[in-house]
Structure 1
Amino acid sequence: MALDQLNWKILRCLQDNARMSNAEIGRRVGISSPAVSERIKRMEDLGIIEGYKAIVSPFDIGYQLKAIITLRAFMGKLKPFLEKVRSLDEVVNCYRITGDENIVMEVVLKDHKHLEAFIDQLIVYGESKTQIVLSGVVKQRSLIPIK
C-alpha cells in the first residue's frame, strides 16, 4: 500500500496522541470520522500500524537508574542469550548490532544493587560494558519520520 498524504497526516496525529478520537483526527486532516476509521483499520491490517502502547515513566514507579549495556557474547553464547533476554524484565529495548559487541540493551533498574545483580546475570553470556544514563536528550518518538 502506498501511503497518500491523508494517511501520512493520520499517522502523524496518532504518533502525537494515539488516544486521539477518529472525529478529532478527521477534523485535523479534513475527512469524516468513518473515513479515518477505515484508513486506520487498513493500515493496521497491512501491518503499517503495529500497535498502540502506554509509555510509563520508570522513575515514577521506583526505577531510579537507566543504563545502556553492551554485550560481547562468548563463543556459542549468543543464541542462549537471545532466548534469555526476552525474560529479563529490566530490559526496555534490546538490539543485535554490528561491531565489537553483539548486543546493546537499554535497561531500567531500581538502584545500584539491582544493577549489580543484573550484570551478574550477564557474566555467563559474555563481556558487558555499562553506561549510566544521566538524562534524555530526545523524547521517545517514532522510528519513522512522518511527512
Structure 2
Amino acid sequence: MKMDEKDRLIVRLLREDARMPVSELSKRVGLSGPSTGDRMRRLEANGIISRFTVDLDLEALGYPLQAIVRIKPRPGNMHVVEDMIMNEPGFVDCDKVTGDDCFVTRLVLRSIADLDPVLLPFHDRAETNTAIIKSSPLRGRIPV
C-alpha cells in the first residue's frame, strides 16, 4: 500500500494516542470524519495498523529499573533458554538476533537486588551480558 502524508499523519497521531476519537483525529489531519475512518480501515486492512494498545508506565507499576540483557545459549540449550525467557515475567521484550548473542531482551526490575535471582538460573545454560538502562531518549519511533 502506498501511503501519502495524511496516512502517515494518522499513523503518527494514533501512535501517540490510540484512543483519540475519530472526530479529533480528523480535525488534526484535516479530513472529514468518514474520510479519516475510511483511511484507518484501509491502514488496518493492509496490515499497517495491526492493533491498538496501551502504553504502560512501568515505574508507576513498581518497576523503576530496566535492563538490556543479551543472552548467548550454550550449545544445545537454545530452546531451553528461549523457554526460560518466555516463562520469566520480568522479561518484557525479546528479540532473536544474529551475531554473538542469540537473544536481546528487556528486563524490568523493582530493584537492582532482583537482577541476580532472575539471571542466576540462566548461567548453567547461557552467557549473559547486562546493561542497566539510564534513559530511553527514543522509543517506538514510526519510520514513516
Q: TM-score, normalised by structure 1?
A: 0.86
Cα distance in structure 2, aligned partners of 1:137 and 1:9: 21
For residue 30 of structure 2, what is the amino acid of its counterpart?
G
Identity of aligned residues (%): 28
Cα distance in structure 2, aligned partners of 1:33 and 1:87: 44
Cα distance in structure 1, aligned partners of 2:129 and 2:72: 9
Tell me which moved more, 78-87 or 28-37: 78-87
- The aligned counterpart of 1:61 is 61
- The aligned counterpart of 1:141 is 140
CA root-mean-square deviation? 1.7
- The aligned counterpart of 1:49 is 49
Closer, same or farther: CA 125–45 of 1 in aligned 2, 3 Å: farther
Cα deviation digits, residues 102-137 of structure 1 (max 9, x gap):
111111011233211110132243011111122233
Task: Write the mapping of 1:24-103 to structure 2, written as runs, cut at 5 A.
Answer: 24-103=24-103
User: Unmatched 5+ residue regions in structure 1?
Assistant: none
Secondary structure of 2:60's partner?
A: helix
Cα distance in structure 2, aligned partners of 1:91 and 1:50: 23
- The aligned counterpart of 2:4 is 4
Cα deviation digits, residues 39-88 of structure 1 (max 9, x gap):
11221122111212222121222113211111111111112222332232
Q: TM-score, normalised by structure 2?
A: 0.88
